[in-house]
């Protein structure tokens, strides 16, 4: 009988960390003339009830995964999103501050959403040039990418041969995917709330293995 050769199932290379990047759930709405609470220069809204439900669904999706650790950022929407999964797994989330959302300067606290909806010239330039720094007093795309890369590599170095859940922000998911793939800076912006993307990291090498998985939300 002749030998048979079947297609293989992907497994991360030896020593690599398998990171599930979860975008936090939907947050409360921005309103003209009001600001979200601020934390270290960042708007810090709470989850909307729909976002709380998305967090529950993320927890259900991943509760049987062999996850060794959960990471969140300094902002409460990531803590709230991680809570159901952390309860399932009996894990206490760790904070990685460098994975907090892009700092939006004068437009933080909710103003960015309003300016984007209005089609402000600075917003249009930011999109066209793929440069966060077009927003008044915001950090630059290069600054965001540098700290996101540093945060991801720290987590990966701490978890060789392990799967880790990392609850982050839309701008951070976009930056991470661009860094790993070599795509244009804003190519992966727009991941859905509650979505799961996947990066495998060994040393300083990153591989994109999934983006914007929302099957658990439908």
pLDDT at residue 35 above 90? yes
Tens-place pLDDT, residues 119-152: 999 999 999 999 999 999 999 999 999 999 999 9
In a domain, 57, yes or no: yes
For residue 109, give every residue at least 6 positions away whose Cβ sits within 8 Å of its Cβ, in sequence order, or none: 35, 36, 38, 43
* Segment (H or E) for 191: none
Residue 161 pLDDT class (50, 70, 90 cuts): very high
pLDDT at residue 218 above 90? no
Phi, psi of 200 (to 5 degrees): -110, 130
Per the DSSP assignment, residues forming a β-bridge with 210 are: 198
In a domain, 37, yes or no: yes
Q: Which residues are marked as active site?
A: 24, 101
In a domain, 157, yes or no: yes
Number of domains in the chain: 1
In a domain, 1, yes or no: no
* Predicted pLDDT of residue 1: 78
Tell me, what CATH number does 58's domain have?
Answer: 3.40.50.1240
Show the domain range for 84: 17-103+138-217
In a domain, 91, yes or no: yes
Tens-place pLDDT, residues 63-119: 999 999 999 999 999 999 999 999 999 999 999 999 999 999 999 999 999 999 999
Decide: 182 and 192 in contact? Cβ < 8 Å.
Answer: no
């Amino acid at each position: 009988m002749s030998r048979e050769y079947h297609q293989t199932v992907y497994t991360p290379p030896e020593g690599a960390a398998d990171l599930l990047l979860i975008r936090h759930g939907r947050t409360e709405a921005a309103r003209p003339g009001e600001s979200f609470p601020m934390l270290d220069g960042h708007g810090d809204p709470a989850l909307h009830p729909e976002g709380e439900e998305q967090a529950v669904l993320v927890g259900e999706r991943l509760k049987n995964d062999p996850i060794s650790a959960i990471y969140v950022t300094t902002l409460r929407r990531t803590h709230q999103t991680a809570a159901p999964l952390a309860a399932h797994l009996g894990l206490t989330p760790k904070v990685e501050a460098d994975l907090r959302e892009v700092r939006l300067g004068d437009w933080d606290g909710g103003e960015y959403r309003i300016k984007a909806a209005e089609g402000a010239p600075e917003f249009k330039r930011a999109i066209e040039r793929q440069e966060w720094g077009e927003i008044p007093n915001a950090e630059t795309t290069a600054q965001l990418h540098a700290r996101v890369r540093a945060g991801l590599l720290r987590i990966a170095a701490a978890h060789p041969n392990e799967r880790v859940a990392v609850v982050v922000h839309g701008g951070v998911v976009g930056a991470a995917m661009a860094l790993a793939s070599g795509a244009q800076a804003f190519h992966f912006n727009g991941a859905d709330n509650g979505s799961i993307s996947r990066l495998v990291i060994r040393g300083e090498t990153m591989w994109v293995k999934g983006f914007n998985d929302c099957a658990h939300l439908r």
